[in-house]
Amino acid sequence: MKKFLSVLLAVLMLVGCLPAMAEKVSPWTVNASTGMAKHSKSVDAIGHVTIPAEVDGVPVVGLDYMAFKSYFDMTQLTFPDTLRFFGSSTLNGAPSLTEVTLPRELIIISDGSISDLPVESLVVPPAVSVVYGAFFNLPNIKS
C-alpha cells in the first residue's frame, strides 16, 4: 500500500507540472504606454522572425532601442502593418539578415536603425522621415 501511494503521489506531481512545462513564454516585451517592442535575446531568433502586431493586447507601433542588435542567426524579418517607428540601432549588426522589407506605413527611422547589415536592396516607403545617420555601413547595397 505504501508503494502504491508513493507511485500515485509521484504521478500526480508529474501531471501537475505538465501545464507549467507546456506554457510558452513570449519572446516579446512591449511598453504599454509607448507601444515600443523589444525581442528577448534569451530566446533564439533564428531564420525568419515575425514581429507580432500586438503583445498582451498592446499594439506594437515601434521597435525599441537596439531591439535586434547583434542577432547573428536572423535571416529575414517580417514587420506588422501597425509598425510606425524604428528606435536607434534597431537593426544594427545582424550579419545574417539578408532580406529587409520595411513596413509601408513606417514614418520614422531613427539614427543607426539600419546599419552593419549584408542586405543588397532596401526600399524606403515614401512616408518615412529619415533621421540623419539612419543608414550606414551597408556594403552590399545595390538599390
Compute how many other C-beta atoms are within 10 angstroms of the C-beta atom of residue 79: 19
Higher pLDDT residue, 24 or 61? 61
Residue 25 per-residue DSSP state:
P
- AA identity, residue 128: V
Q: Give the pLDDT confidence score for residue 37 in this predicted structure.
A: 66
Q: Give the pLDDT confidence score for residue 6 in this predicted structure.
A: 53
Q: Is the pLDDT of residue 22 over 50?
A: no
For residues 27 and 45, is the Cβ–Cβ distance under 8 A? yes
* pTM recorded for the entire structure: 0.69
Question: In this prediction, what percent of the chain has a pLDDT beyond 90?
Answer: 3
Residue 116 per-residue DSSP state:
S
Q: Give the pLDDT confidence score for residue 24 in this predicted structure.
A: 54
Q: Residue 111 to residues 13, 15, 38, 93, 108: CA-CA distances in angstroms?
A: 52, 51, 17, 14, 10
Q: Is the pLDDT of residue 132 over 70?
A: yes
Mean pLDDT for 39-45 is: 60
Q: Is the pLDDT of residue 19 over 50?
A: no
Mean pLDDT for 98-122 is: 87
For residues 53 and 79, is the Cβ–Cβ distance under 8 A? no
